[in-house]
Amino acid sequence: MSKAISQVPFAVNEPVRTYEPGSAEVKSLIATYKQMWKEKVEIPMNIGGKEVKTGEKVTLTSPQDHQHDLGFYHKGTMQHVDDAIKAAMEAKEKWNTLGWEHRAAIFLKAADLIAGPYRDRLNAATMIGQSKNVHQAEIDAACEFIDFLRFNVEFMTEMYAEQPISDQGIWNRAEYRPLEGFCFAVTPFNFTAIAGNLPTCMAMMGNVVVWKPSNNQIYSAKVIMDALTEAGLPGGVINMIFTDGKSTAEKVLAHPDFAALHFTGSTKVFQGMWKLMGDNIHNYKTYPRIVGETGGKDFIMVHPSANVEAVATGMVRGAFEYQGQKCSAASRAYIPRSLWNDVKKVMETQLASVKMGSPEDPSNFVNAVIDKNSFDKCKGYIERAQASKDAEVIFGGKCDDKKGWFVEPTVIETTNPKYESVCEEIFGPILSVYVYEDQDWKATLKLVDETSPYSLTGSIFAQDRYAIDEAYKALENAAGNFYINDKPTGAVVGQQPFGGARASGTNDKAGSKMNLLRWVSVRSVKETFVSPKDYRYPYLG
């Protein structure tokens, strides 16, 4: 294989299945869901390619039914963190020296397995464990993860092909070495694709990885690990551990061989880890690479020239799909007084038809929030808004935790642009609306830019091209992913590389070559064909 400059298959986005009522694909997915719902799963960790069972069993339940026993996972201790680091370091040399075509083949095979025989299982695990409806599971767990795998293989080869120029008599080369040491991937609950991408993109570049998924995503993490194993990923390249986040970070980030952190999750956790890395900087053999994609307070800014139906649809989809638990979810909307009554009417009509319940019924648009913490947090914001003189709950507001963690899609209208629900990340199905006077358009753009410390996603809705241009310029640094006349969610790999700046992260754009560059350390090689044999240059005479 290394005796050819191979070309990898051209990456295209995985077609999204539509799961129309009565279709064979929806029947198959729901049948898999029902089967997995009733079987009791046992989920071991995976260290050095071996299943590790500790006997400390943690029961798995589902957000849509917190009393339902799905089985259990094996919780690990700090000894397992040590074991995972050791297994990674032992796997390092063989993995590093394997030709890149073999690495590419493993991840391309994993993509095909997930597109085919694993698709229903990965989607169903995401529906059961993370409470996503069929569409949300399909665009995340299946399609986005498949896209990450296929596009990253293509980006890797594009990167390898980028080579320096050479003068006469010499040959310059760039070698894209994996990092020295091991990498650490810490992943969130809300996207199965992110959980899969963070460790695999580092491994793809020749690195070895310790991966700690969120406790709330362990069911789909198991399916990812099963698919990678079947695809032929050698033991020790990605080690999946179920350990306490804080103590694991303290141990891993103090290790001399720690070389990189690839994190997605909340801002506070990321900042805590960055601080730990600072404290340990003198211990490391190499300066660590740090990539973190974190929180957001994503906006929809509406100009008086906007189309009312497009705005209302952007609000309903942008704020309430996956219960607002996307880092990109619209959570604050700024609407001009002249449009508000019409936007409100269309939004209320649309919301009145939204059904909430278990993903087992595909007609439910909204499902449960992830856990009790999230439920209590959402309920707190709603209750405080109901009691506040600055705010009014104009839609939804009911919370029901009898069976699952259900929070109705809720709209809060506030007269205070700095009201708490406009400024803080809630990560639930709550949208705050601030109505501005049409003549205050310019000042409101400034307000949008300055209201939150985040800068992840945002949308501008307008038909007036000058207004679009003005918002585009005024909000240059307010969002890493900026949308014009569309909702601020749903970035597609290869099309809208994703990430934000300010408190939202390091903006290293998941699903792009920019991200992969972080996981290599380039060696520049100069070879001289006819070496000089005398130190004297011509100018010396």
249 lies in the site for ligand NAD, by CB under 6 A:
yes
Check residue 265 for interaction with ligand NAD (CB under 6 A). Answer: yes
Do β-strands 170-178 and 258-264 pair in parallel, antiparallel, or remain unpaired? unpaired
**Residue from 269, 343, 366, 369 that binds ligand NAD (CB under 6 A)?**
269
Pull the structure tokens for residue 242. 């179920």
Nearer to ligand NAD, 83 or 140 (CB): 140
CA gap 506, 267 in Å, rounded = 11
Q: Which stretch binds ligand NAD (CB under 6 A): 7-15, 152-160, 220-228, 289-297?
A: 289-297
Half-sphere exposure of 215 (CA within 13 A, CB side): 14
Using left for φ > 0, alpha for ψ between -120 and 50, and beta otherwise, residue 227 falls in alpha
Chain centre distance of CA 134: 18
Under 8 Å between Cβ of 61 and 67: yes
Sketch the per residue contact string, 442 through 471, with ligand NAD: x for CB under 6 A, - otherwise.
--------------x---------------
Contact between 175 and 522 under an 8 Å Cβ cutoff? The reply is yes
Least CB distance to ligand NAD at residue 389 (A): 29
Nearest approach, Cβ of residue 420 and ligand NAD (Å)? 16
Catalytic residues, by residue number, are: 293, 327
User: Closest separation between CB of residue 211 and ligand NAD, Å?
Assistant: 9
- Given the complex with ligand NAD, which of 133 and 331 has the nearer CB atom? 331
Q: Can you tell me which residue has the tokens 């209750």? A: 383
* CA–CA gap between residue 405 and residue 63 (Å, rounded): 6
Binding to ligand NAD by residue 381, rule CB under 6 A?
A: no
The dihedral over CA atoms of 220, 224, 225, 229, expressed in degrees to the nearest 10, equals 150
Q: How far is the CB of 505 from ligand NAD (least distance, A)?
A: 5
Q: Total number of residues binding ligand NAD (CB under 6 A)?
A: 31
Rg of the chain (C-alpha set) = 25
| 393 neighbors 351 (Cβ within 8 angstroms) | no
Alpha helices in 116-144 (DSSP H): 119-130, 134-137
- Mask 172-201, x = binds ligand NAD (CB under 6 A)? --------------xxxxxx--x-------
504-523: contacts with ligand NAD (CB under 6 A): 504-505
Question: Under a CB-based contact definition with an 8 Å cutoff, are residues 107 and 237 in contact?
Answer: no
Q: Does 273 bind ligand NAD (CB under 6 A)?
A: yes
Q: Judged by CB under 6 A, which of 236, 295, 318, 362 binds ligand NAD? A: 295
Chain residues in the site for ligand NAD (CB under 6 A): 186-191, 194, 212-214, 245-246, 249, 264-266, 269, 272-273, 293-296, 327, 425, 427, 456, 498, 500, 504-505
